[in-house]
Every structure is written in structure tokens, then in C-alpha cells.
Amino acid sequence: MIRKLFTPLVTPFLLACTAMPAVDPAPAVADVPLIERSKLFGNPTRVGARISPDGRWLSWVAPRDGVLNLWAAPLADLSQARPLTQEKGRPIRGSFWSPDSKTLLYVNDQGGDENFVLYGVDVASGAVKTFTPFQKTTVRVIAISPKVKDRILIGVNNRDARYHDVHALELATGKLTLVLKNEGYGGYLADAELNLRLATRSRPDGGTDFFRVADNKVEAQAFSKVGLEDSQTTAPLGFTNDGKTLYWAESRGRDTAALVAQDLASGQSTVLAQDKRADIENALFDPRTGRAQAFSANYLKPEYQAIDPAVAADLAFLKKEIAGGFTITSRTEADDKWLLAVDAVTAPVSSWLYDRTAKKLTQLFVTRPELEGAPLVPMHALELKARDGLTMVSYLTLPKAADPGGSGKATRPVPMVLFVHGGPWSRDTFGYDSYHQWLANRGYAVLSVNFRGSTGFGKAHIAAADLQWGRKMHDDLLDAVEWAVNSGVTTRDKVAIMGGSYGGYAVLAGLAFTPKVFACGVDVVGPSNLFTLLKAVPPYWEEFKQQLYRRMGHPETEEGKKLLQERSPLFSAARIERPLLIGQGANDPRVNIAESDQIVDAMKARNIPVTYVVFPDEGHGFARPPNNIAFNAVTENFLARCLGGRAEAIGGTVKASSAQVRHGAEFAPGLKEALQP
């Protein structure tokens, strides 16, 4: 059993371009073969392998008629692989096994609306069941237990859009039985018998209260609580299979989240693992007992460390035999077989089977075999300093023209793309990254920064961003640019900013608040108006609202209104003077399309050129490969004009997608021509 300790809740410019001549790409780049966009952003050949609990089946996601679907095969004979689903439009991006190994479960939405429905497909017959056939709801999986084979616990918000009632789902029949009506709690935790044991509820101060649950009734008084400062770094994780021990990710009394075991009879807690530099990110739990066996703390790079001697030899063997980092993605109930995702950074990710008994590793497949032998380049982990001394773990990828030996030190400056992660309560990580590889192949240095507010580095790092949208969080990005210029990575006039979600906000903030710093910007689903962003959050984020207000600004206080006004790029749109490209999903429930519409309208009203591309069948980001490829085609030609890198022609990519160019096709190089009949 593998548990992810933290999942972010919110867990991806053309005024100057019209007059700016195209810049010739650096001659040395021409020596490096161009990697086709489709190889980087098209459908993977196979991805997301999962082994069934009984060890008989292997499942994965792969294209069927051009759309990602679920496939399965007997582990003993993968040549017998067959597709199990036939989704024609929205790709299926992941799955998980029922505890009896008979059903492969998955969730999917329509057009990116995040109204997720739970489905199950019988592996033997191929019959698909719709388990939550409700309109405008989103399902949550609350508990799956290896001890209870015939049912799981799920949450569905079909009664009250704000809260998920707990239901038992009988896998064979699809019958839903109400277990607990949710009267205002954010989440629940069950034991291995599928008995609800804990409930969580947000407080008005942004903190969290934890309640015991007995006989499906929540106790009136909280038995434990945390304030705002610990709210993203302290949470209950799960019980041992005997129900006697509760595991926590725990930052109370320390900065970073430790892995803590609490004996429920005595109440005594024991710290099992901690790292002063980073939160414990992942933990491995024995599928037979539920006891913690290993953990992973991800500072610069993730690496497993054993707690239980029973897995110490296995982890040592894997570290010795595997070239690159690895993640244990699934395990059999007998714990005799593990599936691994192996990431060598300069090669596509591959999936491996580890037989613990035979101490044998077998490669199953490579996710993108078409990238084997491609001129992929290393990623380098850095520790950068903000102006106030805050350490920011960052990742730099250099094109071969600037770093022929792959040392991580630029031999000469090249244009750079500052690539900003979303969230902001998320983080950048070390490993193969399709955007880093793509942009580096086009001739750009790529820098990703874990600015203040990024998760994984302790609660102080998160709290340093409170009420700092568009201020110290933005200063961190400016400080990273300054480092890159001073280190010879790039020059001050050749830096673009690009990102999605919060990263898109950072793009808009960068161009509006510091209009002369960036040569251009690419915003994907970025909020422009923090008032309307907060007003439009989905109803099932009700539990998270108070924390949003305290970390961003409260829209109902005079002080909060003033802050949100100042930090919203929309109200400084008149200051934008550098090229801007915007991509938006029409069905985005997190960053409503109005966020992009508003700033485009403001720029149009002032005759400030902007290119605006909308995808009517997408939501918060672009899931369909034709759409992602089309927007990236526009993006790389846009960047080539602004920065001087190289680009693959747009060709027929836009027409092959659902893209609607709602404004400014004439401002993006090659786009107007690509739209011609």
C-alpha cells in the first residue's frame, strides 16, 4: 500500500511582437535534432501500470482509436492484452483495482467540468458499470480495504453540492447504501473493516478540527486540532489493519511534516521519520498489516528510506540495480510483487515488475518509446536564495547549445523560459519533464522555482506566502530571474514567463505588475481577478474556503478587498506592454473562463494586442492531446518570435483540435495562416 501524504487542493503578449523582428535562433541549436511535438505531447504508448491485488492481472492506460482507454492482460502473458473500455472523447487517465481483483475502477468527467463519475469494468467480461450516475456531482473514494473484498466506501455530493455523504458501494451489484449523512465535514477516514473512525472539519480561522466517529456518528467535541499554520502539513493518514495504530503526517511542534504513529489505546505518539529540510512526502505501508515500512522525503530529489527491516534489502537492491529514480506504484496483497515507475530524466519513464522472492527486475514497457534515443537533456537541482534569505529549491534545464557536457553550468547565455507551477500549494519536482525537454530542445534554458507557498518544504515555507500573491511570491520569481542573469544562464532582455493555473496568474502578474521584466508571457487557465476567482470556486470546496481567504485575502473585509484589488492583474491590465498569449478551457470549474475573458476584454478596450485561444471541450488544463499539441504549436511559434528560439511549424495542429481563436490570431506568428481553409 502506498499513500501520498499531501495532495494539493488547487493538487498546469503581443504589444511588442507586432513590431519586433524575428530573432535568428542560435546556430549551435541547429546541430540538435528537433523533437516532434507529437512525440512529447501525443498519447503515450502505455502508461499508469497497476498490478491487481491477487497478482494475476496487469492493467494500464493506452490509446484505443486515438483516445486513452483502459487495457488489461494476465501478468503471466502480456501478449493477451485487450482493451476494457471504449471512451471516444474524454481520455481516461488512471485507474485502481477493486480489493477482489475482479473490477478495474476509474473516474472520468465530461469536457473537463470535474463532475467526476465513478465507473467499474469487469475484467473477465468487459462489462462496464456506472456506479455514480448523478448529474453535477463529483465522487470521492474514501476507503478501499484489503480485508473487505465486496465493497468500498465513497463520498457523493448529490444531496448537498458542498458536502459528500458517505456511501457503501457493493461492487458486484452497484448498490449504494448511505452510511453517514455529511453535516458539514470535509473528509472522513475509515479503518480496514471500513468502519468510519475520523472526520475533519475546517474552522473559521483556517485551522482544522479532528473528530472521532463511532457507530457512524461524529462525536460533538474534537479530540485534536491544528491552526492555520499546520493545516496543510498535518493530517491523519490511516490505521493499521488491526485498528490499533493511527498514522499521521504531523508538523505540530516542528516545521516539516514527520511520519508519526499514534497508539490509540494510550494516546502516545512516536515519530517514525522526519527530515528538517522537507516534509515526508510518501510512505509505504504493508498491505497485509497496514504498518509503515518506508518513507520518502523529497527535498532536491526523492528517495525511499526503510523503516521496517523487511523492506530494507529490497530498497537497497532496487537503488543499486535501477539507473534513475523510482516510485513504487502498486503492490500485490501478498506483497511478493511490486510495480515500479523508473525515471532516468534523460529517457522516457518506464514501468518495471519487481519479484521480491526471486529478487528479479523485469521491464514491462516504456511510456514513450518514440523518445528513446532522442536528444533529451539533464535537469539540475538548485538551491536559490530569495532577497529575504528564503531558500527556494529550483530546477534548471539547459539546451545543449548552452551546456554541451550536461554539467548544469551555462557556457554562454541563451533565452530562458521561467516555467511557474500551479497551485500555488503544489511544487516542482526532479525528473523527466516534457515541458522542460520541449523548451530546451527549442533552444531555451528552462527554470522552475519552488517559490514561497510551494508545498513539501515545511509549514514556514507555506506561511511565508500568506497574503503575498503578486508581492513576495512574485519577488521570488524576479529573484530567480536575477540569479539566472547573474549566472550567465540568460540575458535580461530574453526571459519569458509561462505557467498554468497559479502559474498563469504569475504570468499575468509579471506582465501587469513588472511590465518591463519579461519579454513575453504564456498564460494557461490563469486567474486575472481574485474577487471573481474566489466567488466562483466549486461548492465542494466549501471546507477550504476559510483557508483560501486567510492565505489570499478575505473578500468580505475592507482590508481584504483592498488587497485583492491590488493583487488582481485585471486592474493593472493597462500597464501590460509585452506580448501575451492566453489558453483557456471553456468548462474550467476552478478558474472560470470569465477570468480569461475579463483580461482579454480589458486589453481589447485599450487596443493592447493579445492572442486568446479557447478549447470548448476542456477544463482546468488540456487533457486531450490534439488540444495540448495545438496550443503548444502556437506557443512555440510565439516564443520563437519573441525570444529567438526555433519552432516546428503549426501546420494542421490547430484545425485538428477544438481550438477557437477568439481574438488576436494576427498577433501570433503563423496562427492566422493555420486557420485558413
pLDDT at 27: 42
Catalytically active residues, by annotation: 501, 588, 620
Neighbours of 183 (CB within 10 A): 11
- DSSP letters for 168-225: EEETTT--EEEEE--SS-SEEEE-TT--EEEEEEE-TTS-EEEEEEETTEE-SS-SEE
Nearest-5° Cα angle at 140, 161 to 544: 60
Tell me if 578 sits within 8 A of 521, measured CB to CB.
Answer: yes
Q: What percent of the chain has pLDDT over 70?
A: 96
Question: pTM (2 decimals)?
Answer: 0.94
> Residue 17 above 50 pLDDT?
no
pLDDT at 3: 45
pLDDT tens for residues 89-104?
999 999 999 999 999 9
Assign 30 a pLDDT band (cuts: 50, 70, 90). Answer: low
> Residue 26 above 60 pLDDT?
no
- Give the residue-averaged pLDDT of 468-488: 98
Assign 496 a pLDDT band (cuts: 50, 70, 90). Answer: very high
Assign 4 a pLDDT band (cuts: 50, 70, 90). Answer: very low
pLDDT tens for residues 575-631?
999 999 999 999 999 999 999 999 999 999 999 999 999 999 999 999 999 999 999
pLDDT at 11: 30
User: How many Å apart are CA 548 and CA 535, to the nearest integer?
Assistant: 11
Residue from 418, 627, 443, 446 nearest 510 by CA: 418
pLDDT tens for residues 133-156?
999 999 999 999 999 999 999 999
Residue 97 backbone dihedrals phi, psi, to 5 degrees: -90, 145
Neighbours of 204 (CB within 10 A): 9
Assign 28 a pLDDT band (cuts: 50, 70, 90). Answer: very low
Pairing of strands 360-366, 176-180: unpaired
pLDDT at 525: 98
Which amino acid is located at 597 in the chain?
Answer: D
Assign 123 a pLDDT band (cuts: 50, 70, 90). Answer: very high
**Average model confidence (pLDDT) for the chain?**
94
- Give the residue-averaged pLDDT of 120-140: 96
pLDDT tens for residues 178-215?
999 999 999 999 999 999 999 999 999 999 999 999 99
Tell me if 602 sits within 8 A of 532, measured CB to CB.
Answer: no
pLDDT at 336: 97
Which amino acid is located at 353 in the chain?
Answer: L
> Residue 13 above 60 pLDDT?
no
> Residue 454 above 80 pLDDT?
yes
pLDDT tens for residues 218-246?
999 999 999 999 999 999 999 999 999 99
Q: Helix (H, G, I), strand (E, B), or coil: what is residue 576?
A: coil
Q: Which of 19-33, 66-80, 109-123, 397-411 has the lowest mean pLDDT?
A: 19-33
385 Cβ contact list (under 8 Å, min separation 6): 391, 392, 479, 483
Q: Which of 27-36, 360-369, 542-551 has the lowest mean pLDDT?
A: 27-36
